[in-house]
């Protein structure tokens, strides 16, 4: 009887030992895979940062001399459109960086903090580069916009565990007519440069998911209420006067500059249900862009305009 019990005990012990070994191997495999993902994402981020800084140097800094580090107050430039761009950029980088670190297995809260730090860190380096450029300078208003963009992402994750208010961009090329040489000088000629620089063609949006705020409502969970901001007919940072390469002075103060405020609807592409992982990731990436929709526009000059479709 003792032998039977001992044999049974040994059998159980061996089974438990095998399960323990299998579990240890499994955990080791998970840790190894997670560490590999972390190293991969770290390397990818460094590569992307390096590549984007090289591109930025060619697009923004190459044609201007370097100086000693200096501050520059550009709060009133471009009707604050550049600040909206800083806010959007930091928000998006924070969001996507956090997603990448979550994929590696990092705890959600830690990943969100790392994402926000990554977004703010990236734009801070860009601002430091501005500080050494003769054309620009280190802008405290820009840094404030960068900080708000990172905090907008992180704050929502901490409060709601989701992004109920997404910051988005839309872009419609503005037709400059006979002012095309001035626009080429300011905003570049290539599409990428134009998207980055042409403030007359950009609109920034805060798309609020209605269902997230009113869960008992019958509103579709993908429908957003979107508030937009833009500006128009800006031919210089502060006013529409400038001196060209030949030294000739241009005065186009006859063209009024104005701010634009929009009320529209949007689609939260993250709420579109699909089992296709590739499609789901594609929709998530595209969710940085405002979907074309009817819009009501209020201009700072008092005009009101209805758009049957606006992008």
CB 97 within 8 A of CB 293: no
DSSP 177-241: GGGHHHHHHHH-SSHHHHHHH-TTSEEEEEEEEHHHH-TTS-S-TTEEEEEEEEEE---SSSSSE
Same domain membership, residue 259 and residue 119: no
Domain count, the chain: 2
- Average pLDDT for 229-238: 97
Same domain membership, residue 176 and residue 131: no
Return d(Cα 221, Cα 268) in angstroms, integer: 8
Does residue 265 fall inside a structural domain? yes
Same domain membership, residue 198 and residue 113: no
Dihedral in degrees, nearest 10, Cα atoms 11, 12, 13, 16: 130
- Average pLDDT for 254-265: 97
Q: Identify the pLDDT of residue 196.
A: 87
Does residue 135 fall inside a structural domain? yes
Residue 90 scores a pLDDT above 90: yes
Cβ-based neighbours of 157, under 8 Å, separated by 6 or more = 98, 108, 109, 112, 163
Same domain membership, residue 237 and residue 140: no
- Helix, strand or coil for residue 100? helix
Return d(Cα 294, Cα 300) in angstroms, integer: 20
Residue 58 scores a pLDDT above 80: no
Average pLDDT along the chain:
87
Does residue 14 fall inside a structural domain? no
CB 231 within 8 A of CB 299: no
Does residue 285 fall inside a structural domain? yes
Same domain membership, residue 178 and residue 239: yes
Residue 27 scores a pLDDT above 80: no
pLDDT tens figures, 133-156: 888 899 999 999 999 999 999 999
- Average pLDDT for 22-48: 60
Query: pLDDT band at 63, cuts 50/70/90?
Result: confident
Same domain membership, residue 310 and residue 220: yes
Same domain membership, residue 173 and residue 78: no
Q: Identify the pLDDT of residue 291.
A: 97
Q: Identify the pLDDT of residue 153.
A: 98
Q: Label residues 197-225 b or e (16+ Cβ within 10 Å = b).
A: bbbbbbbbbbbbbbbbeeeeeeeeebbbb
Residue 280 scores a pLDDT above 90: yes
Give the domain-ending residue among 163, 188, 219. Answer: 163
Return d(Cα 191, Cα 33) in angstroms, integer: 39
- Average pLDDT for 193-216: 96
Return d(Cα 3, Cα 26) in angstroms, integer: 34
Residue 53 scores a pLDDT above 80: no
Query: pLDDT band at 190, cuts 50/70/90?
Result: confident
Same domain membership, residue 274 and residue 172: yes
Which residues are paired to 114 by β-bridges?
A: none
**In this structure, what token pair is assigned to residue 121?**
């860190």
Give the domain-ending residue among 111, 143, 163. Answer: 163
Does residue 32 fall inside a structural domain? no
21-25, 147-151, 178-182: least confident range: 21-25
Does residue 153 fall inside a structural domain? yes
Same domain membership, residue 309 and residue 181: yes
Residue 131 scores a pLDDT above 50: yes
* Greater pLDDT, 11 or 295: 295
Same domain membership, residue 294 and residue 205: yes
pTM as predicted: 0.85
Residue 198 scores a pLDDT above 60: yes
């Amino acid at each position: 009887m003792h032998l039977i019990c001992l044999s049974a005990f040994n059998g159980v012990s061996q089974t438990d030992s095998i399960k323990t070994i299998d579990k240890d191997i499994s955990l080791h495999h998970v840790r190894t895979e997670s560490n590999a993902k972390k190293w991969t994402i770290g390397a990818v981020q460094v590569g992307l940062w390096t590549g984007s800084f090289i591109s930025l140097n060619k697009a923004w800094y190459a044609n201007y001399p370097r100086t000693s580090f200096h501050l520059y107050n550009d709060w009133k430039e471009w009707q604050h459109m550049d600040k909206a761009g800083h806010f959007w950029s930091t928000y998006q980088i924070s969001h996507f960086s956090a997603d990448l670190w979550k994929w590696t297995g990092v705890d959600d809260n830690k990943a969100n903090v790392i994402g926000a730090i990554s977004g703010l860190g990236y734009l801070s380096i860009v601002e430091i580069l501005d500080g050494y450029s003769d054309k620009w300078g280190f802008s405290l208003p820009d840094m404030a916009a960068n900080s708000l963009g990172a905090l907008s992402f992180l704050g929502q994750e901490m409060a709601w565990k989701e992004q109920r208010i997404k910051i988005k961009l839309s872009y419609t090329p503005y037709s400059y007519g006979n002012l095309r040489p001035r626009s080429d000088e300011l905003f570049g000629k290539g599409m990428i440069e134009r998207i980055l620089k042409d403030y007359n063609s950009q609109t920034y949006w805060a798309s609020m998911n209605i269902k997230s705020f009113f869960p008992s409502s019958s509103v579709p969970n993908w429908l957003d209420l979107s508030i937009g901001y833009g500006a128009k007919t800006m031919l210089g940072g502060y006013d529409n006067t400038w001196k060209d390469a030949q030294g000739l002075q241009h005065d186009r103060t006859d063209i009024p500059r104005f701010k634009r405020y929009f009320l529209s609807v949007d689609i939260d592409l993250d709420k579109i249900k699909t089992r296709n992982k590739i499609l789901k990731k594609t929709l998530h990436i595209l969710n940085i862009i405002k979907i074309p929709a009817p819009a009501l526009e209020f201009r700072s000059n008092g005009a009101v305009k209805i758009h049957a479709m606006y992008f």
